[in-house]
Amino acid sequence: MAKCGACGRYLSVTDGLTCGKCDATCHRGCLNLSEKVKISTSWMCPTCKSKVPRAGDNSNTPVMCQDVGDNSPVYKDIDIGLEIRLLRNELSEMRNELKDIRDNFAMLRDTMLEV
């Protein structure tokens, strides 16, 4: 069973949207999309959509997500992207700490060999 990428709860195939890029799934409700809104097969989840570079970054470009309707909130894209970035930062910090520990062990071993 698939889980919703927005709220983390399980969803059935019928009330879920599947991202055409990363296969992430989301409730229609979590993205503020009503049953009436038609979703194309190339629908992208907010995460993937935020990764797509906007062609011609003029400030007065019209909204480009007509395929999912205009009522999809923009702040959700930002939230998910930010969370992923934070998670990545945490992971790299953890990796650094592990490296420190490994270095300490190597030093310890060296001093023990010297004795």
Residues lying near Zn ion in the complex (CB under 5 A)? 4, 6-7, 19, 21-22, 24, 27, 30, 45, 48
The least CB distance from residue 9 to Zn ion, in Å, is 5
The least CB distance from residue 95 to Zn ion, in Å, is 25
- Contact 76/46 with Cβ under 8 angstroms? yes
For residue 36, what are the CA distances in angstroms to 16, 77, 79, 82?
A: 14, 22, 26, 30
The least CB distance from residue 98 to Zn ion, in Å, is 29
Judged by DSSP in three states, 4 sits in: strand
Cβ proximity to Zn ion: between 7 and 98 the closer is 7
